[in-house]
Amino acid sequence: MTTQKVVLPSPVIFGEVLFDRFADGNVVLGGAAFNVAWHLKGFGLEPLLISAVGNDALGDKVLHSMRAWQMSCSGIQSIATAPTGSVNVSIINEEPQFEIVANQAYDFIDGAQAQQAIASLPCPSLLYHGTLGIRHAASYAALNRLRIDQSLPFYFDINLRPPWVCDGVIEEALQQASWVKVNEHEFHCLQKLLKLSDDDAEAAVELQARYGLKSLLITRGKAGASGVAEQGVIKPHSAEVAGMVDTVGAGDAFSAVVIYGLTVGWQWSQIVKRAVAFATAICGVRGGVFRLQQNYDHFLQQWRE
pLDDT for residue 274 is more than 80: yes
More confident residue, 244 or 4: 244
Tell me if 5 is assigned to some domain. no
Assign 1 a pLDDT band (cuts: 50, 70, 90).
very low
More confident residue, 168 or 119: 119
Tell me if 98 is assigned to some domain. yes
pLDDT for residue 5 is more than 70: no
Tell me if 123 is assigned to some domain. yes
Tell me if 2 is assigned to some domain. no
Mean pLDDT of the chain: 93
- Check which CATH number belongs to the domain holding 176 and give it: 3.40.1190.20
Q: Which domain holds residue 152?
A: 10-304
Assign 287 a pLDDT band (cuts: 50, 70, 90).
confident
Tell me if 124 is assigned to some domain. yes
pLDDT for residue 275 is more than 60: yes
Among 181, 177, 187, residue whose Cα is nearest residue 143: 177
Is the CB of residue 289 less than 8 Å from the CB of residue 282? yes
Structurally, how many domains does the chain consist of? 1
Tell me the DSSP string of 216-242: EEEE-GGG-EEEEETTEEEEEE--PPS
Per mean pLDDT, which range of 38-52, 85-99, 226-240 is the poorest?
85-99
Give the whole-number percent of the chain exceeding pLDDT 90.
79
* pTM of the shown model: 0.95
Q: How far is it, in rounded angstroms, from Cα 16 to Cα 96?
A: 17
Backbone angles phi, psi at 39, to 5 degrees: -60, -45
Tell me if 252 is assigned to some domain. yes
pLDDT for residue 82 is more than 80: yes
Q: How far is it, in rounded angstroms, from Cα 41 to Cα 43?
A: 5
pLDDT for residue 3 is more than 90: no
Is the CB of residue 253 less than 8 Å from the CB of residue 39? yes
Q: What does the pLDDT look like over 21-39, one tens digit per residue? A: 888 888 889 999 999 999 9
Tell me if 3 is assigned to some domain. no
Q: How far is it, in rounded angstroms, from Cα 42 to Cα 293?
A: 6
Q: How far is CA 45 from CA 120, 143, 256, in A?
A: 16, 22, 11
- Angle (CA) 264-247-235 rounded to 5° is 45
Q: How far is it, in rounded angstroms, from Cα 77 to Cα 20?
A: 20
